[in-house]
Amino acid sequence: MLRQILLLFALILSMTYQAPTQDRSYGRSVVMTERGIVATSHYLASQAGAQVLAQGGSAMDAAIAANAVLGVTEPMMNGIGGDLFLIYWDAKAGKLYGLNASGWAPRKLTIEFLAQHGITAMPHEGIHSVTVPGAVDGWSQAHKRFGRLPWKDLFTPAIYYAEHGYAVPEIVQYYWSDEEAKLQKTEEARRVFLPGGKVPELGSRFTNPDIARSLHLLAEKGRDAFYKGEIAQAIVRTSAAFGGTMELQDLADFSAEWVEPISINYRGWTIYELPPNVQGMAALEMLNIMSNFQPDKEGPKGTVELHKKIEAMKLAYADLYRYNADPRFGKVPVTGLLDKAYGAQRAAKINPDKADCNPGAGHPATSDTTYLAAVDKDGNIASLIQSNYSGFGSGMVVNGMGFALQNRGALFSLDASHPNALQPRKRPFHTIIPAFMERGDVHIGFGIMGGANQPLAHAQFVSNLVDYGMNIQGALEAPRFTVTGGQVSCDIVIESRVTPDVLQALRQKGHNLIVRAEYTAMMGRGQAVVHNSKTGMNSAASDPRADGTAEPEPAQFGK
């Protein structure tokens, strides 16, 4: 009996000892492999990218293939009618590249033109919100520089799912339902995206033979099919039918632009974003402000830490909305905004006991979206984001081609004195941002989609990793807060995993909190990949707020 009691006691001690390693605050495990990995917001896209890696493709090949599938399986989020931004890590060269593939306003779309039609505020849908889609040229330029497989082979998975169909998953079906009223407004949108006159049901099979045709044209004829050929002509005809201004020359003249990423140092890590016209500088400014405070002992879900981050976000966003614009049309004070001294100056405005609902912009010195990440076995990383902006963009579906045109023009200002004022061939303020961070041998491509949510989500992800030692999966899953409607105010959306006592303490400081579900999609849907150049190991994480996965490159058995 004594022996049995001692054995039972030893077993209990053993179980107690193991508990800390078994308990964790995040749900999914990090995916690890010496091969490549692709992480996207839809499992079919992740699988397609992983299969391309197995065929000898680079991270760029895998990213393009996965992105093309996402345009089919998440048509409200992204597609060939949208824009694209890329950060690419070339492991062999040890160099980081940035690509801005955001389109410009048509030559005849002006403030004066809209005024003549009685439009005094930039439309958020319809034909006058449409700018030139830049995604396809972005794919083309990135493939020419970093691709290994033939261009036409990258579209095979997307064409297959467009022709044979796929089961509509949970989050996609939710977003689809949310845009039904927009899709009902035009005959072509109803025909393509409301089969039988309604949103596809959860788990039903959806096919899109029209987008399959467009993808076949791209595969066989390259980017010129979109900007000069059959697809371009269909875009212009669709625009003209609704009184739009898009002309063939607007498409033919467009080219994506290679740009130099901007960066800051945050507690020993170098954090990279893309320069304006995107909002990446807000993520970096927010981190600069946060660097003036030490991580709080209560952790990332404590009152002190959340208050600090919310206030830092509002200061950075006030500057973003004041200064961000297309740098080809005016000077954006990026250097001043990212200066450490300016960050300290902005940090000094934070009152630890009270929320500031309208902080206003500072004075620096002058000088709906899909994100995916891919890493190949050689350590090259593609951090890519692509979007229509709103769900199904403008709501304008190109006749016979199966895709919606973006509504990025909605982010222009009609105030002629504003840096972001609408002008012909100008790129609007852009919300979508890919990101990258590194320290020593560790290189991380990451992104979290969701309109105005993105800079503050990036900063929270970086803080979770750097300040609190989380791994990439834990950092993605951790509770987050976000803004409402992109406005700088005390109205903050926050997930219910933050404890009631912290929520109450934040309210007492003046924050108006809107508490949502544990994993609300309002916080954006993120992905991350990591390459360790010392060990050669890759790892990846995928946000549970989406329908996606991180898929490792399958082994070729017997080879």
Place of tokens 């992740």: 46
Instruction: Yes or no: say if 503 and 494 are a contact pair by the CB < 8 Å rule.
Output: yes
**Cα–Cα distance measured from residue 287 to residue 558, given in angstroms and rounded to the nearest whole number:** 48
Task: Answer for the pair 333, 325: CB distance below 8 angstroms, yes or no.
Answer: no
- Sheet strand arrangement including 481-483: 481-483, 491-495, 512-516
Buried b (16+ CB within 10 A) or exposed e, 268-282: ebebbbbbbbbbbbb
How much of the chain is in helix, strand and coil states, percent to nearest 5? 40, 20, 40
Rounded Cα gap, residues 214 and 441, in angstroms:
41
342 Cα distance to chain centroid = 27
Q: How far is CA 444 from its chain centroid? A: 15
What is the 3-state secondary structure of 508-549? HCCCEEEEECCCCHHHCCEEEEEEECCCCCEEEEECCCCECE
Closest CA to 59 of 475, 443, 318, 329: 443
> Residues 40, 245, 369, 431: which is the catalytic one?
369
CA distance 152 to 91: 25
Enter the tokens of residue 15.
């179980």
Extract the tokens encoding 24: 């964790």
Name the nearest CA neighbour of 444 among 383, 378, 385: 383
Helix (H, G, I), strand (E, B) or coil at 314: helix
CA 394 to chain centre: 19
Contact in structure between 380 and 88 (CB atoms under 8 Å):
yes
Give how far Cα 444 sits from Cα of 122, 449, 452, Å: 37, 16, 22
CB 136 within 8 Å of CB 387:
no
Alpha carbon distance 140, 176 (integer Å)? 29
Strands 442-448 and 491-495, by their bridges, are unpaired
Q: Is 366 among the residues known to form the active site?
A: no
What CA–CA distances, in Å, run from 124 to 118, 130, 169, 409, 456? 15, 9, 27, 8, 23
Q: How far apart are CA 35 and CA 553, in angstroms?
A: 6
Q: Tell me the pairing of strands 435-439 and 381-387.
A: unpaired
List of residues 6+ apart from 1 with CB closer than 8 A: none
Cα(385)–Cα(531) distance, integer angstroms = 19
Active centre residues (catalytic): 369
